[in-house]
Amino acid sequence: MSLIDRIIQIVKDNGMSGKKFGEIIGLSKSPLTDWKNGKSKPTLDQIIKICEYFSVSSDEILFGDKEKAHLSAEERSLLDGFKKLDKQEQQIVIGKIAEMLYNKKMEESSEKLSPKVLWNLLADSDNKNSVVTKNDD
């Protein structure tokens, strides 16, 4: 994938219009078609603006490293907020994410169990007599 293809992909992945992209890099219209057709090339200043705006590294955009690692606007916003937290707060966020992922996994696996098995697992021990056994329908 060429530099221009990587830039076009980043713009497309972020749902941005060509005109808006042109404004971001300091042009009144989109340069993407001209770049794609070889009529012009992005300047170093434009590449720097692209890297800064889309939170991609120059290695990624110039050489294709971590080609799929560019972030959506929402992901960039989350990452920027995370970076503003101190180390302790970051660890709390990481812990909460781990907890949410664990709960999601448990929820997904519980959906695979029959209602009877779930009832047996979740039934209060005082009400064990009212639990339907596996042999009952």
Please check the confidence at residue 134 and state whether its pLDDT lies above 60. no
Q: For the chain, give the secondary structure using H, E and C.
A: CCHHHHHHHHHHHCCCCHHHHHHHCCCCCCCHHHHHCCCCCCCHHHHHHHHHHHCCCHHHHHHCCCCCCCCCHHHHHHHHHHHCCCHHHHHHHHHHHHHHHHHHHHHHHHCCCCHHHHHHHHCCHHHHHHCCCCCCC
pLDDT (tens digit, 9 = 90+) per residue, 53-71?
A: 888 888 788 877 654 456 6
For residues 115-121, give the mean pLDDT: 67
pLDDT (tens digit, 9 = 90+) per residue, 105-116?
A: 888 776 666 667
pLDDT (tens digit, 9 = 90+) per residue, 16-39?
A: 888 889 888 888 788 998 898 999
**Furthest CA-CA distance within the chain:** 80
